[in-house]
Chain A
């Protein structure tokens, strides 16, 4: 046994206590949990721990090896940074959701069987949806609901795959799966929806920009990267992933160029970066898998940094569209510097962490001789510099002066960005630390003269293209607009469904079913009613009326008789007695 406590338990069990704390104690507690989780992680050794017998199944909460530890470390680290960044958020719900989300991501990483994995997988989806809803806007309500629906659908695919897998193999142990048969395809699809595979990706740029300034920092770290982890665990060397990943690196950058909302630009570049990791998994060599883990580690840091800098802009100005921003370097110089560090890292500038991790995957594709993939990755490297590296800092902090005068965000946010920025550069300068926690031994040297010059040429001449296109006015102006993506199918699809229900179906109901009903039910009923009515009028009413009339006629006759004179009555009575006597005598 080990003395460590499962990091998932620290986060998830620790989360509800937040609502009982106030002030400095609460802040201290919020920061303490990720620290405790990190200490726990550092004291863990490879092996299998925390197994629970549940209805005859063995649930494994602690499968610890180099792959799961690497993801555990970075998840704990980014939890600390995100918590520090969101320390002043008053809404306890967001803190609790953030911790449950971070904890369930740890749970996914260390789960050794499919049931545990599925449990944490679903908790992640719900806690993430809460973080999206936390901005309490009309847009976030819709986006959060769509997020949840997509992830529930993905979860169901995964569950179906797990069930079939159990049926096929009789085992729930989560290890290498590989592509063979429907079970594995369903599991891959379930993982792939969380990893934002093309076509299934649009939940990401739909939902992430709608969360709160700090919620998006949490979101950017866990869902897609835990999906990368499970793909690396279950599908290394699956060739299909090379092509899926290559598509993921390439198509989002076109979107990012024309997108106006800067957090949506970052969301597209997130897909592009996850694409590199998916390619690395697909190639499946030790170099490429190391590259995937290294890139996930670095990507989480610089992507959180970029989302924090844009979150700071949103927090300070209330604006996030490129059309509304510009010139903020004057009043937010530190945020500008942190953003530029993040931008340089995502672009893979030498001396930043992006350089030492991304290059491993690109090199792995070169080693394997995959020319089209290599081209896609180099194109994507240039493209990501273009939109995340230049566009984000340029439009937010430079460009035309928007006239906005604000100030730096609170100290905790600056500190969080500062730590992330420091780590981006530290890992870039001393990659040995990162390489030491990778799953396989590393004999890769990132800093060769050729590699540095090649990368600098790629980036500087991309920048030249940007400058020339900008100066010549060809660069597409930022426009307030919506850019359609594959979420169109379910957003308009839902509308189409409602239209279908409201118009054709209701019409059909009214015209055809209604008509048939009229002809087959109402008309006969009316006819029968008519018959009944005439029967009623002629027979029943007739009888009643007849009796009435008879009574009236009799009354008239009787009135004659009823003269009110005693002798008349006496005459009638005697006549009556006579008639009775005669009647009796006759019978």
Chain B
């Protein structure tokens, strides 16, 4: 019998995700109390970076999946 690994126990994945979500909330809550020194006005909005990071990645994945992939995907032996 193979030994159990960290993510083989379902509870561990849940714990991992809980810590992850907790840190997300912590980052949002702490944000207004930090003294920012933005280069641009919009950069100083509360949680600008969180919003930008999330939106940017969703846009990135959707664009790669629905625009780029249909255009450039070919069979593995395409060049042979």
Q: Count B-side interface residues using an 8 Å CB cutoff.
A: 46
Chain-B contact segment, one of A3-11, A12-20, A363-371: A363-371
Interchain CB contact under 8 A, A457 and B31: yes
Interchain CB contact under 8 A, B49 and A386: no
Write the nearest CB–CB distance from A359 to chain B, whole angstroms.
12
CA of A479 to CA of B73 in the docked complex: distance in angstroms?
9
Write the nearest CB–CB distance from B58 to chain A, whole angstroms.
5
Interchain CB contact under 8 A, B34 and A450: yes
A374, CB-defined interface residue at 8 Å: yes
Interchain CB contact under 8 A, A453 and B34: yes
CB-CB nearest in chain B for A483: B72
A484, CB-defined interface residue at 8 Å: yes
Query: In the complex, which residues of chain A have a beta carbon less than 8 angstroms from the beta carbon of B61?
Result: 257, 386, 465-466, 469, 474-476
Among residues 22 to 72 in chain A, which have CB atoms less than 8 Å away from a CB atom of chain B?
none
Query: In the complex, which residues of chain A have a beta carbon less than 8 angstroms from the beta carbon of B60?
Result: 253-254, 257, 379, 382-383, 386
Interchain CB contact under 8 A, A465 and B34: no
Among residues 15 to 38 in chain B, which have CB atoms less than 8 Å away from a CB atom of chain A?
17, 20, 23-24, 27-28, 30-31, 34-37
Which label, helix, strand, loop or mixed, suits the secondary structure of the B interface? helix
Q: Mark B36-73, 1 if CB is under 8 A from A, else 0.
A: 11011001000111111110111011111100110111
A458, CB-defined interface residue at 8 Å: yes
Write the nearest CB–CB distance from A567 to chain B, whole angstroms.
99
Write the nearest CB–CB distance from A138 to chain B, whole angstroms.
9
CA of A476 to CA of B63 in the docked complex: distance in angstroms?
10
Query: In the complex, which residues of chain B have a beta carbon less than 8 angstroms from the beta carbon of A480?
Result: 76
Interchain CB contact under 8 A, A462 and B75: no
Query: In the complex, which residues of chain B have a beta carbon less than 8 angstroms from the beta carbon of A383?
Result: 56-57, 60
| Contact A258-B65, Cβ < 8 Å, known A453-B30, A460-B23, A482-B75 | yes
Query: In the complex, which residues of chain B have a beta carbon less than 8 angstroms from the beta carbon of A374?
Result: 39-40
Interchain CB contact under 8 A, B35 and A462: no
Q: Mark A552-585, 1 if CB is under 8 A from B, else 0.
A: 0000000000000000000000000000000000
Write the nearest CB–CB distance from A488 to chain B, whole angstroms.
9
Write the nearest CB–CB distance from B52 to chain A, whole angstroms.
6
Query: In the complex, which residues of chain B have a beta carbon less than 8 angstroms from the beta carbon of A258?
Result: 64-65, 68-69, 73
Interchain CB contact under 8 A, B74 and A481: yes
A330, CB-defined interface residue at 8 Å: yes
Q: Count A-side interface residues using an 8 Å CB cutoff.
A: 52
Query: In the complex, which residues of chain B have a beta carbon less than 8 angstroms from the beta carbon of A255?
Result: 64, 68
Interchain CB contact under 8 A, A466 and B57: yes
Query: In the complex, which residues of chain A have a beta carbon less than 8 angstroms from the beta carbon of B39?
Result: 363, 366-367, 369, 374
Q: Mark A357-388, 1 if CB is under 8 A from B, else 0.
A: 00000010011010100100011001100100
Query: In the complex, which residues of chain B have a beta carbon less than 8 angstroms from the beta carbon of A454?
Result: 36, 48-49
Q: Mark A439-465, 1 if CB is under 8 A from B, else 0.
A: 000000000111001111111111111
CA of A482 to CA of B79 in the docked complex: distance in angstroms?
9
CA of A464 to CA of B48 in the docked complex: distance in angstroms?
15
Interchain CB contact under 8 A, B54 and A464: yes
A200, CB-defined interface residue at 8 Å: no
A398, CB-defined interface residue at 8 Å: yes
CA of A456 to CA of B64 in the docked complex: distance in angstroms?
24
A515, CB-defined interface residue at 8 Å: no
A491, CB-defined interface residue at 8 Å: yes
Q: For B20, B31, B43, B52, which residue has the most chain A Cβ atoms within 10 angstroms?
A: B52
CB-CB nearest in chain A for B80: A138
Interchain CB contact under 8 A, B50 and A461: yes
CA of A357 to CA of B75 in the docked complex: distance in angstroms?
39
Interchain CB contact under 8 A, B76 and A462: no
CA of A480 to CA of B20 in the docked complex: distance in angstroms?
31
CA of A485 to CA of B71 in the docked complex: distance in angstroms?
11
CB-CB nearest in chain B for A383: B60
Q: Mark A316-336, 1 if CB is under 8 A from B, else 0.
A: 000000000000011000000
Interchain CB contact under 8 A, A460 and B69: no
Interchain CB contact under 8 A, B76 and A461: no
| Contact A457-B50, Cβ < 8 Å, known A449-B34, A463-B20, A485-B72 | yes
Query: In the complex, which residues of chain B have a beta carbon less than 8 angstroms from the beta carbon of A484?
Result: 71-74, 78
Interchain CB contact under 8 A, B53 and A460: yes
| Contact A449-B35, Cβ < 8 Å, known A464-B24, A476-B61 | yes
Query: In the complex, which residues of chain A have a beta carbon less than 8 angstroms from the beta carbon of B65?
Result: 257-258, 474-476
Among B28, B36, B48, B79, which residue has its beta carbon within 8 angstroms of that of A491? Answer: B79
30 example contacts (A-B, Cβ-Cβ < 8 A) are as follows A253-B60, A254-B60, A254-B68, A329-B6, A363-B39, A366-B39, A366-B40, A374-B40, A378-B52, A379-B56, A382-B52, A382-B53, A405-B2, A449-B35, A450-B35, A450-B36, A450-B37, A453-B27, A458-B50, A460-B50, A462-B54, A464-B24, A469-B58, A474-B61, A476-B61, A476-B64, A483-B72, A484-B71, A484-B74, A484-B78
9 smallest CB-CB distances across A and B, nearest first, come from A366-B39, A465-B57, A257-B64, A461-B53, A457-B50, A457-B49, A458-B53, A476-B65, A484-B72
Apart from A405-B2, A460-B20, A476-B61, 5 more pairs, CB < 8 Å: A257-B64, A378-B56, A386-B60, A453-B30, A482-B75
A residues with CB within 8 A of B: 142, 253-255, 257-258, 329-330, 363, 366-367, 369, 371, 374, 378-379, 382-383, 386, 398, 405, 448-450, 453-467, 469, 474-476, 479-485, 491-492
